[in-house]
Structures are given as structure tokens and as C-alpha cells.
Amino acid sequence: MRDMVHSGQLAGHTAVVVGAGASGRAAVRLLSRLGAWVRLLEKNPAAIPADFCEAQACTGVEILTGEHTPGHFAGADLVVLSPGISRASLAPYLTACPDAQVLAELELASWFVEAPMVAVTGTNGKTTTVMLISHLLTRAGLSVFTGGNIGTPLSEYVLAGEPADVCVIEASSFQLQNVFTFHPKVAVLLNFSANHLDWHADMDEYLAAKLRLFAMQGPSDLAIVPADLDYLLSGRQVTKARLETFAPSDRFRCPRLLGRHNQADMEAAFAAARPFGVTQELAETAFFDFAPAPHRIQVLGEKRGVIFVDDSKATTVTAMRAAIETFDRPVHLLAGGVFKGGDLEGMVPLLRERVKSVGLFGGSREIFESAWQGALPLEWSATLAEAVEKLYARAASGEVILLSPATSSFDLYSSYKARGRDFQAVFAALPGAPVTPSGEKP
């Protein structure tokens, strides 16, 4: 299929790409390489890098900013959606191209991938599990492309023209809702809980999007699902692939991955890598020295005996629960931001058991206060820095200050990474001599 990536492949076709994020820009470049006439639509002009505009001007790509109109879609054969842009939101405009194929960048790129793909979805833990699988496969001597929703779009892999032995892909529900032929050799559903209900119509639509990961698999493929999701999957024709389940256990250990949820992720990663020759012995060694990505229950260090943990990637209530359950010592919890759904009231028993106080910051104040007021000490601050300083003043040696917000970051920050970096900067500026996780003073 890689031989098909040439300038005549889509000659005579019109393609509209909606959204100028990393995947949208990669789709533009791939479609241009294939010979299509391409129009890029982006509401926010500042979101398009200047060098990208200059490069695409030379290839004839039309870039339009501002509000969409039906005319922007007129004559389109393909409409490629960036993650986070729903087909429903474009319904008023798609009437101008009723015969167009509407698809995700992931779907488009997958048409030109020969290597077997391992794809991972789920509400929480996707990035960690994708990194674990890639780590195992690399240690087994295989060349691996790691991408998708984790950072590098699959279109970039196709454009690079450097074949890998295996492609390991993180897939979000946004992407999966618009795939039709995407066919991973191994597909992993990690877990499922309320998330993105500000985007999906309801939980059924969210689950249906996740399960599209398995739709094109056949009997020679492998589908991996949690053992505790039987209640959701029973009675559904989920896949024709061979089905395997996983559950957390104590057979693998990684000093940098704490908690039962990470033990489940390691089990899922091993199950996904095993068909490529990864043995349990290799996995035990590889997991032990694995270093996770930042902002995922990342221990920053101590000040005055208080442990600071950055879990800014926890954008759901389920992820917050997993983080709190990780610690066997009192926790002071930082929460707040753009709430995406979930059972906050159901968290109250765990909060009473393990959390001494909560520092709310930023958005969704009324939602958290409505659910938790009176259950434990709770105080709101306008900024994360102010909330951290208040918790630090009351925390005792041996206790934990945990940033695990259960929200997206877009009230105060451009991303969960920016939120995590701010937390780390606040930690560094607090009074007291810092001690790193290794026990050495920096």
C-alpha cells in the first residue's frame, strides 16, 4: 500500500480538512502528497503555525479561517475531521457535500499502513499503556512507531516512508467515531467510565465509539478487554476476533508506576505484546525499568516531609479515584477545571477515608462544592498556586499533596501538560529544601 502514496492517487478529488491541530496538518500534507486539492478550515487563525501556512501555500492548499459556511464544503469528496470535532457539529455545512466521505485522520492514514497495528483505547491509562507496549516491543528487538492520539499522527508515519515492524496507536473516542476500515491486528480496551459527556450525546454513544476499535477485526486478530467489563459487553456482537481478558495482578512490578490501575495497564500491555514474541521474563525486566510520561502520578519530591504528586493527566473522576487509591497515607487533593461528567458524589466515601482536605481551583467550583461540601474540609481558590499554598500550610510531614483534577484544563491552561508544568513550578517555588524521589537533594 505504501507504493500507492504518490501524486496521482487522489488526483481530481477535493478534500476538506477541519481543524489545524497536529493531526489536521498531517492530513493536509498527506492529502496533498496524494494529489488531492485540499482546503483547510480552522476557526482560530492563531492555531495555524506561520511556517505551515507558508509551506502549504506553495502546494496550492487553500487555508480559510473563521466561522465555517456551507460553501467551504461545496464539492468535497472527502471531509477529514481532527479529533474533538464532531460530525454532528458540522451537520449544517455537510449538506453542501451530501456524497462526501466523512472520516478521521486515523482512518485516512490507516489506508496506507502495511505494518501490523496495535491500537489502545479506554477512558484512562491509554498513553501509559501505549508506551508500555512500545517499550516491550522495542526491548524485543522490533522497530516501533508510536503515535495516534499520543502525539504523532499516523499520517506522519505514512509520510515519513520509514516502515516499522509494528505501529502502536493510541485511539480516542473522537477518532474512533469516524473510522470505518481501521483494522488493528491487536486491539485493547482498557476500561470504560463517564468521560467526554460534554461532547458525546450520552454514555451509549461514547461506548459505541470505543467499540468501533474492534469492528473490522477478524478471527486471526486479537481483542483484549478488561475482565470486569462483562456487564457492558455481554449481549453485544463486539468483534469477530479472538477475545482475551485481563485483570490487575502482582506478577509485574515497576517502581515508577504505582497503584492497581497501573498493574492492570501492565497486564494489558503484556497481553498485547505477547503475539509479537514478548515473553513474561522479558516483560518483567522491561517493566521494572520503564519510565512513564510526565503528569501521570508523577512524584515530584518532598518539601518539609510533604510529598508532591503531579497527576494533571487525570481528567476524569475515575482517574482521580485511581490516584487517591494509590496512596496509603493522608492526601490533600487539588481539583477543578472544566468538568466533563462523572459521579462526584460517589467519591465521598473514598474522600472521607483517605483525603484530609480538598483545594479547589479554577472552574466547576459549584459542581464540586455541591457534591462534596460538608463531607470534608473544602476551600476554593482562583488559581492553582493559591490552592497549593493553602494545602501546604496545613499538610503535615508524611502526607501527600496530589494534583488529580478530574477535569480538562481549558479554564486556566492550554493543556493538562501546561497545568502540570505550573504545578511543578509552584512546587519548586515553595519554601523548604526539596528532596527528589531518589532521596537526593538537587
Structure confidence by residue, pLDDT tens digits, 343-368? 899 999 999 999 999 999 999 999 99
Q: Please identify which residue in the block is written with the cell numbers 517499550.
A: 135
Q: Over the stretch 73-97, which tens digit does the pLDDT of each residue have?
A: 999 999 999 887 888 889 999 999 9
Q: Please identify which residue in the block is written with the cell numbers 474533538.
A: 84
pLDDT at residue 299 greater than cutoff 90 = no
Mean per-residue pLDDT, 377-386: 97
**pLDDT, the chain, mean:** 90
- Measured in degrees and rounded to the nearest 5, phi and psi for residue 68 equal -75, 155
pLDDT at residue 21 greater than cutoff 70 = yes
Q: Over the stretch 220-232, which tens digit does the pLDDT of each residue have?
A: 999 999 998 876 6
pLDDT value of position 189: 93
- Nine-digit cell at 185? 491486528
End-to-end C-alpha distance for the chain, whole angstroms: 51
Backbone CA torsion sign across 152, 154, 158, 159: negative
Q: Distance between CA 34 and CA 30 in Å, rounded?
A: 6
pLDDT band at 198 (very low <50, low <70, confident <90, very high): very low
Backbone CA torsion sign across 146, 151, 155, 157: negative
Helices (H) and strands (E) in the chain, counts: 16, 18
pLDDT band at 202 (very low <50, low <70, confident <90, very high): low
Nearest 5 degrees, angle CA 388-CA 300-CA 345?
A: 50
- Nine-digit cell at 217? 477485526
Q: Please identify which residue in the block is written with the cell numbers 476557526.
A: 43
**Predicted model pTM:** 0.76
pLDDT at residue 433 greater than cutoff 80 = no
Q: Over the stretch 133-182, which tens digit does the pLDDT of each residue have?
A: 999 999 999 999 999 988 799 999 999 999 999 999 999 888 888 899 99
pLDDT value of position 203: 63
Residue 71 has a CB neighbour count (10 Å cut-off) of 10
Q: Over the stretch 24-70, which tens digit does the pLDDT of each residue have?
A: 999 999 999 999 999 999 999 888 888 888 888 778 899 999 999 99
pLDDT above 90 coverage of the chain, percent: 69
**Whole-number Cα distances in Å, 188 to 14, 111, 128, 410:** 34, 20, 13, 28
